[in-house]
Amino acid sequence: MADLKTQIEALGPAARDAARLLAVSGTAERNRLLLTLADLLEREQAAITAANGEDLARGRQAGLSAALLDRLELNPRRLAALTRGVREVAALADPLADADRVLKDWTRPNGLRLQKVRVPIGVIGLIYESRPNVTIDASVLCLKTGNAAILRGGKEAIHSNRALVDVIGQAAVSAGFPREVVSLVPVTDREAIPILCGMDRYIDLLIPRGGHGLVETVVEHARMPVLKHYNGICHVYVHADADFGMAERIIINAKCQRPGVCNAAETLLVDKAVARQFLPLMVKSLRAQKVRVLGDAAASESLGEQLPEPADWETEYLDLILAVSVVDGLSAAIDHIEKHGSHHTDTIVTNSESAAREFLRRVDSSAVFWNASTRFNDGGEFGFGAEIGISTDKLHARGPMALEELTSYKYIGRGNGQIRG
Amino acid sequence: MADLKTQIEALGPAARDAARLLAVSGTAERNRLLLTLADLLEREQAAITAANGEDLARGRQAGLSAALLDRLELNPRRLAALTRGVREVAALADPLADADRVLKDWTRPNGLRLQKVRVPIGVIGLIYESRPNVTIDASVLCLKTGNAAILRGGKEAIHSNRALVDVIGQAAVSAGFPREVVSLVPVTDREAIPILCGMDRYIDLLIPRGGHGLVETVVEHARMPVLKHYNGICHVYVHADADFGMAERIIINAKCQRPGVCNAAETLLVDKAVARQFLPLMVKSLRAQKVRVLGDAAASESLGEQLPEPADWETEYLDLILAVSVVDGLSAAIDHIEKHGSHHTDTIVTNSESAAREFLRRVDSSAVFWNASTRFNDGGEFGFGAEIGISTDKLHARGPMALEELTSYKYIGRGNGQIRG
């Protein structure tokens, strides 16, 4: 344990030094690193897929599910997509470029000129689970924005991650940066997480991406700021004035288009006034898409069929399951969302502008939509180019966390001898 | 202990409900609350000073130092200044006003119109020490920005704080808000802090303001985001090309104008190239202001006098004590600041624009100045009108934390049936 601690803590000072160099580097230098990385991912394809093959073999031996093995796999097609993604990020506008970094520029009556300027955050710690593509995606976003990264990937992907971080290190060195701009926690022990959580001198921000247990461990132990990319208990509320056809299309999309992601809907709230008309059509349509429908007593009654009751209203099913509750008007819908939601994404379907306005104003979630699918709460769909995840926190970054959200700021003041009176 | 926990946790749901009402309130309503509070502070002066008198009497009995008793005292003159401050905050521009709340407004190719809008953070927990004026100052800034507050003041000020929070409650009710927009932890046990730190369901942000022990306890236990207003190890670096007269004025100001605050200087870095010329003048001038000068071996040698060595370079003296180190050039100065500083405020004095540019770019502190006193890192001096403190964190708020920094944002999307393909 002492050895483990020493080994992990040694990553801190090296990452900090690398971050200091990144912080004064230019857009072109950082993009060169990214483009070199893209080239190397192509050149080293055989080594990477071989390392990934070892993870897959061990995973099969350990009896991982087919779904988990699929998440783990890094075949040539996926590697090519990953490489394309790296080149796309390199081509994105740099929030630290001279044209964009000055956020505010003003001069005080005493002549002191002040600027608020964008700077990198510093060292970002990323704790994630099985998918090795996160190793590249997350590193690339950190590097683009001048941040060093310390990664703690899942134990199932350790060989893949080692190979990928090795390639990142080669790209860094060849672009004139230290290898330690990205480092990988060399061990897969669960104890690594509390150790990282204590390194607040060297890690400026921790981002946990994963299930409840992982996020809980980080929240429990972290001494530094944490941005949680937590679960999405997302709601679609069908208001009394909804267009039923539109409501149906939005609900099917929000639930079925990709049920395993955080901005998929888990709960349908139907206004009491229209439940009897709407629910039979909607449930039929959901079942045609193989969705299992759960519901409260009022939903069963409106439907004229006994639905299984959900165990609670706070489960992220990540599957073709939808819980339906009948609510008595707009305020009851908002109260349900406040009580059971995760402040991620919620949608109202209505033709009433006043109802929509009230919903948009009162619902306290990272994205609140009127007549659109919950699935739009996404960096790509917002036009941000890329995202490291959807923050369910309210400070610093809320919703899609893209390049700008990976930066901080500082104040610069230029005087000619000003002192305070 | 179980009772204490129940008692404190009961504040959470009430504060959350109050925050929901504040979040949909208008500028005029919140300002009416503040102006009513100002009137009540005048009307209830006798009750407040009587409660404060009890704290002072107990403090004297408990043998508090004269300095602590002074911080505790709330006499009619101080109460009048506090009341003036409340009216000033009411008069400030509201970052949530319709004209200012939309931070971004754009429409995607699919017709989905997106807005990034400013919203209150929610419930803010404030943990502070003896000064009862913080109870009013902090509450007023939270209320102005639509946030509810849960306060945990110092045990020495409990009677004063109860009286003040009672007056805030009266003002709230008379302006149509629930009394619980601001609540005070009713007990003074130290155990209250870990309990508050666990209330992440109800407290969106914790702000600890106080000494090392207090901040340490909060960092150790908090499950929610924390914005630390930590200590300032601030440096003034006299570059080889400095104007000596200007350097002297800036150093005297940075050290002496108010030595007990976080943006006062603790360390003077003098370039080796000018140490022999500059230090004798400077030390003489510092001693004329009753400053005790500590120094490293090189400083003593340059001065031609043995200075006491500082125990370390990381002590916030908060007193008329200045530690002097002689450094070999700009990079050595920056390295010293990176190694020993607290990323608060640092100044370079130089006539060289290129040296200044490098210093401003490379020093990673909330404010970095060229030819100006460290004392300017302040919300008032920046023109922000008011501040709740100087954040030494890098996320969400860095440097002066004013009204805008007490808000968060959310995304609003208006569609006409958009679904993802």
The ranges assigned to domains in chain A are: 2-230+397-414, 234-381
Give burial (CB, 10 Å; 0-12/13-18/19+) of A57: exposed
Cβ <8 Å between B393 and A369 = no
Cβ <8 Å between B371 and A416 = yes
Q: pLDDT at position A1, please?
A: 54
Q: In this structure, are residues B360 and B239 in contact, taking their beta carbons and an 8 Å threshold?
A: no
Residue B179 has pLDDT above 90, yes or no: yes
Residue A22 has pLDDT above 90, yes or no: yes
CB pairs under 8 A between A and B: 205
Q: In this structure, are residues B136 and B164 in contact, taking their beta carbons and an 8 Å threshold?
A: yes
Closest residue on chain B to A356 (Cα): B414
Q: Which of A278-282, B52-56, B233-237, B386-390 is predicted least confidently?
A: B386-390
| A contact test, residue of B218, B366, B370, B411 with most A CBs within 10 A | B411
Q: Chain B residues with CB inside 8 Å of A350's CB? A: none
Cα-Cα-Cα-Cα dihedral sign, residues A13, A15, A21, A23 = negative
Cβ <8 Å between A112 and B362 = no
Closest residue on chain A to B410 (Cα): A366
Of A225, A243, A368, the CB nearest to B395: A225
| CATH H-level superfamily of B234-381 | Aldehyde Dehydrogenase; Chain A, domain 2 (3.40.309.10)
**Chain B closest CA to A225's CA: distance in Å?**
6
CB proximity list for A376: less than 8 A, separation 6 or greater: A263, A367, A369, A382, B112, B413, B415, B418, B420
Q: Chain B residues with CB inside 8 Å of A418's CB? A: 371-373, 376
Q: Chain A residues with CB inside 8 Å of B252's CB? A: 419
The values of phi and psi at residue B349, to 5°, are -110, 115
Round to whole Å and give the CA distance between A95 and A409.
11
Predicted TM-score (pTM) of the model is 0.94
Round to whole Å and give the CA distance between A374 and B21.
25
- pLDDT tens per residue, range B112-168: 999 999 999 999 999 998 789 999 999 999 999 999 999 999 999 999 999 999 999
**Chain B closest CA to A392's CA: distance in Å?**
11
Nearest Cα residue to A248 out of A221, A288, A220, A285: A285
Of B356, B396, B420, the CB nearest to A375: B420
HSE-up (13 A, CA, CB side) for residue B204: 26
Q: Which of A86-90, A207-211, A246-250, B53-57 is predicted least confidently?
A: A207-211
Torsion of CA A384, A389, A395, A398, to 10 degrees: 50
- pLDDT tens per residue, range A34-51: 999 999 999 999 999 999
Q: Chain B residues with CB inside 8 Å of A353's CB? A: none
Q: Chain B residues with CB inside 8 Å of A112's CB? A: 372, 376, 381
Residue range A50-61: mean pLDDT, rounded: 97
Pairing of strands B182-184, B148-152: parallel
Q: pLDDT at position A186, please?
A: 87
Token pair recorded at residue A210: 């994963």
**Chain B closest CA to A38's CA: distance in Å?**
28
Cβ <8 Å between B368 and A412 = yes
Closest residue on chain B to A349 (Cα): B417
**Chain B closest CA to A276's CA: distance in Å?**
22
Residue range B382-399: mean pLDDT, rounded: 92
Residue B1 has pLDDT above 60, yes or no: no
Q: pLDDT at position A63, please?
A: 95
Mean pLDDT of chain A: 95
**Chain A closest CA to B22's CA: distance in Å?**
11
Q: In this structure, are residues B417 and A243 in contact, taking their beta carbons and an 8 Å threshold?
A: yes
Mean pLDDT of chain B: 95
Asked if this assembly's ipTM is beyond 0.90, the reply is yes
Q: In this structure, are residues B382 and B77 in contact, taking their beta carbons and an 8 Å threshold?
A: no
Q: Chain B residues with CB inside 8 Å of A246's CB? A: 416-417
Closest residue on chain A to B258 (Cα): A420
What DSSP string runs through B221-244?
A: H--S-B--B----EEEEE-TT--H
Cβ <8 Å between B205 and A393 = no
| pLDDT class of A386 with cuts at 50, 70, 90 | confident
Q: Which residue has the tokens 């449930």?
A: A283
Q: Is domain B2-230+397-414 in CATH 3.40.605.10, yes or no?
A: yes
CB proximity list for B210: less than 8 A, separation 6 or greater: B127, B128, B129
Q: In this structure, are residues A414 and A112 in contact, taking their beta carbons and an 8 Å threshold?
A: yes
Cα-Cα-Cα-Cα dihedral sign, residues A381, A387, A388, A390 = negative
